[in-house]
Amino acid sequence: MKTVWVRGLAVLLAAASLSTLGSGCAGEDDAQVIGRNMAPIRDGFVDEQGLFPHVFALVAEVPTVNSEGDPAVSFSLCSGTLIAPNLLLTAQHCVAELEEEFILCLGESFGDMFPTNRMVATNVPAISGSIAQSQVFGVSRVLIPEESREICGYDIALVELSRNVPDTVARPIAPRLDVPPAAQEPYTAVGYGDTGDGEGMEGTRRYRGELSIRCFGPDCPSVLRLTDTEIEGDRGTCSGDSGGPMLDEDGLVLGALSRGAIGCSTSTWAAVYPWADWIRGHAADAADNGGYEPAAWVRPAGGDGCIGDGCDEVGLGGGDLFDCSTAPATATLPIGALALILLLVTARRRTCYNVAP
């Protein structure tokens, strides 16, 4: 896998031994990218007013090797959306290794999942300075589609947090599961990526509106190589950060950012609509685990649809669980006082290109 060295963040987690995370945007003009923190929101606005507290930064430890070939660790930065008090929607490549550098949608697959006890989430507007432990949430389990490990068409994941996010920190927003995305439909992108202009804004939540959907999988031209579960968005990877949400005009989640052209000409999103039963089932389970009543959207529109553990046969499947036994048993990670300090450092970043046809 191709490696480049870029500026990044130094993340200090006292007891968890977290250190640095990579970030940036680079590559050929005609390439497409899928990766961690590879999709900055360019020409967007910093969320200074806290308009999107339901959008979280997701940090995961990534094993790698240093310049001498010795084992080392770096950290990935992605985004995710709080769709229930203890449940984030994100991209699968935010929680798993990528085995391929160039993604041609010819069967390339995900690698190993990241251990859940080496992942944390926070919704602070900017990852800098001191962050209260109450705003940092551990991960108890990760769910992914069980049908395939392929990247294209399956770049979606649910992250269950080790404790519920209080309403005073963030209120969940609902995914739009009953109405499919439509061509020309406007949307807003939100994420924690850098701006792609060298200003080093990684780790700051930004948003951009006045974007529009180009097409939804079944209606997209074959040349785009989209699957039936994907959305072609506006202006490429500069529209949002990996795993971050595509929000409709009502603030409902249409999808999570997967990949796009480095030249900002396209963006591909994992749509939530095709995964409605899968999302509903695991949202019901998360509600049981969190001890709260599931939101109204968890019940299928118009009826007595099955939700929860007994519904793995419905829709696109029940999903696989990873590293549940290694998750923290307590409500919070044993990280003590958390300080995330913005630095200029050299950090390892792995870049995975999807070459446009």
Length of the chain in residues, anyone? 357
The whole-angstrom separation of Cα 149 and Cα 147 is 7
**What is the predicted pLDDT for the residue at 357?**
39
Reported as a pLDDT band with limits 50, 70 and 90, residue 320 is: very low
Name the CATH superfamily housing domain 3-273+329-355: Trypsin-like serine proteases (2.40.10.10)
Phi, psi of 277 (to 5 degrees): -65, -40
Q: Is the pLDDT of residue 54 over 80?
A: yes
Minimum mean pLDDT range among 28-37, 135-144, 193-202: 28-37
Ramachandran bin of 245, using left for φ above 0, alpha for ψ from -120 to 50, beta for the remaining angles? beta
Reported as a pLDDT band with limits 50, 70 and 90, residue 66 is: confident
CA torsion sign for 292, 243, 279, 273 is positive
Whole-model pTM?
A: 0.77
Q: Is the pLDDT of residue 38 over 50?
A: no
DSSP string, 294-345: PPGGGSPTTS----SGGGTTSTT---EEESGGGS-SSSS-S--SEEEE----
What single-letter amino acid sits at 320? D
Mean pLDDT score of the chain: 75
**What is the predicted pLDDT for the residue at 338?**
34
- Residue-wise pLDDT for 246-267, tens only, equals 999 999 999 999 987 766 567 8
**What is the predicted pLDDT for the residue at 101?**
64
- Residue-wise pLDDT for 282-311, tens only, equals 999 999 999 999 999 998 876 554 555 554
Minimum mean pLDDT range among 181-185, 227-231, 239-243, 285-289: 239-243
